Amino acid sequence: GPLCDITKPGNQRCSPNELFIAGVIKQERFPAFEKVLWRLFHGNFVLRHAEMQATEELQAVRGAVKKDVFIIFVQGDHVREKIRKVCEGFRASLYSCPKTLYEPKQMSTSVMTQMEDLRMILRRTEEYRAGVLTRAAEHVQEWGSKVKKMKAIYYTLNLCNIDITQKLIVAEIWCPVSDLTLVQSALIKGSEQSGSSVTPVLNRIQTQQTPPTFNRTNTFTEGFQAIIDAYGVGTYQEINPASYTIVTFPFLFAVMFGDCGHGLVMTLFAVWVTSQAESLRKWKNELTDVVIGGRYIILLMGMFSIYTGLIYNDCFSKSFNIFGSSWCVLSMFHPHGPWQNETLHEYHHLQLNPFVPGVYSGDPYVFGIDPVWNIASNKLSFLNSFKMKMSVILGVSHMLFGVALSLVNFDIFLQFVPQLIFMLSLFGYLIFLILYKWCITLRSETAPSILLLFINMMLFDYQSEHVLLYRGQVWIHAPLKAVLYSWLFRKDHFICFLLQVSMGDIFVYQAIHTIEFCLGCISNTASYLRLWALSLAHAELSEVLWRMVLQVGLKISSGMGSLMLVVLFAAFAVLTVTVLLIMEGLSAFLHALRLHWVEFQNKFYEGSGYKFTPLSFDSLLKTQQ
């Protein structure tokens, strides 16, 4: 049993005629304790004390606190009570001391047995707890997902109404029209499985609210739909640009990325991710989820990059000569051409003249850029001109396509036709000039610049010294300008005539809108020049990487060359992947996306809808894990 605490009143085991009081007190308090007792009782008591031997166990439990055990022999109840109060004040613990020799031994054995029992109970409890937790841990994942599902179901049910009889639920739902029979059969199946007697009723009702937007996607198209929805979910029943984005987005990316070596690496990576998609999902990293979600986008981007890489004739910054170059350097020498042996020693740079017979075969290279340009020092001035004009052509075509789509959306002839006429007369003519200049043969010293041509057209400047690009140019320019300027005023007159309102208001509004559209068109076309800029940056980075890393190893002709080549190739590969594939890839991705979101979609897309989000356990469990 527990030790008798004498300070507790009403304890049956302690008799009032106890001869002594025994207890334990902290050693540092003992002198003060003794002094107080002497002052109070003037020596009418006997006090003996001894230092307690601290056992290892006690030290572990209580710390290195020194305690003294004391015993006070005293007569008289009042005095005893006072002494007990003093002991309380000094926080000494009092214990009843057994009178015979046998009792302490008995007490200590009983205390020991108690301790053993408690220890065993603790151990057993801990083992039991560990067992319960381990068994529960096997199920906790399952329980967690069950709880999530149940929560989601109850949340969805809470969105419904209870009808008057309190027995049925009335739910107003959005549902795709083509799926109505599917929903009906699912309701019936559900009611059969739960064994209810009432069959659910599905009615179609009219509403003024705008329904949510639902675009059916499969695993291939959902990536492209996601990047369109990231900018704005389409308004209800609006045309969905995602289907065209499947082709135009990877294509514009590839125009900026154009390298068939890098494209091949990207394609192989995407093929690997696609084949391993399920096992890669287990990594549950946010970055890998993004890559897995966009695996088909990356695959298409890689495939299109191989195509544009073949057109730019660029593979890790080197060109392929598959079909035979159309340029022949040998024909520049005697007897065909002007060069002699001394010419080579005199000049550092020599230019091939296509008008010397035999230098240019007359037929352009079959597919893509001629490989001779890869080793020409004026490669960039040729490629820049080519890429810039290509960007303008692609940009104007893309935007014209966007304007054409707006016809499907709004079919307002007042807006669509004037926009189209403006764009075609200005930018369409520019594209015609570019294509025409590419097709005819010109001497480079006397070739007219398209830019100057355009400026002169706008300024009505026709000095006879200027070389015209084609005969009858003057006669084409005049009506074009007439069309352009007249477009500015046509809309206003028409609208005023229709609405019979004051000219001033409409005029101002139309003027603002006109200026906005004009400037917008020009700035958007200029924005497409990023296709040129990024492709130039990629080509130059690729060339610098080859020249500064791999070429160093190739140029060592001794035996050590192969070892250096091994090391340098590893560096080349790592830098290609990190700088050219990841960094440039992300950059080109971003710019292609911007071109779609801003320059293309502002011609027709409203994007002010909200998405149709039915309750789906898959997406619920995926997002919360």
Partner 1 sequence: MASLLFCGPKLAACGLVLSIWGVIMLAMLGIFFTTHSAVLIEDVPFTEKDMEDGPTALQNIYKLYNQVGYNCFIAAAIYVGIGFLSFCQIHLNKRKEYLVH
Binding site for partner 1 (CB under 8 A): 265, 316, 318-321, 341, 371, 374-375, 547, 550-551, 554-557, 561-563, 565-566, 569-570, 573
Phi, psi (deg, nearest 5) at residue 608? -115, 30
Phi, psi (deg, nearest 5) at residue 197? -90, -15
What amino acid occupies position 497? F
End-to-end CA distance of the chain: 55
Could you tell me if 482 and 490 are in contact, meaning their C-beta atoms sit under 8 angstroms apart?
no
- Alpha carbons 534 and 256: distance in angstroms, whole number: 5
Phi, psi (deg, nearest 5) at residue 24? -130, 135
Could you tell me if 398 and 256 are in contact, meaning their C-beta atoms sit under 8 angstroms apart?
no
Taking the CB of residue 477, how many other CB atoms lie within 10 A of it?
18
- Alpha carbons 319 and 127: distance in angstroms, whole number: 72
Q: Please, how many CA atoms are within 13 Å of residue 140, restricted to the half-sphere of its CB? A: 6
- Paired with 203 in beta bridges are none
| Residues in CB range of 46: below 8 A, 6 or more apart | 72, 73, 74
Helices within 201-353 (DSSP H only): 222-229, 242-257, 260-275, 277-281, 286-293, 295-312, 341-346
| Residue closer to partner 1, measured from CB, 52 or 376 | 376
Helices within 424-449 (DSSP H only): 429-439
- Alpha carbons 302 and 37: distance in angstroms, whole number: 96
Q: Give me the DSSP letters along 134-176.
A: HHHHHHHHHHHHHHHHHHHHHHHHHTSEE-TTSS-EE------
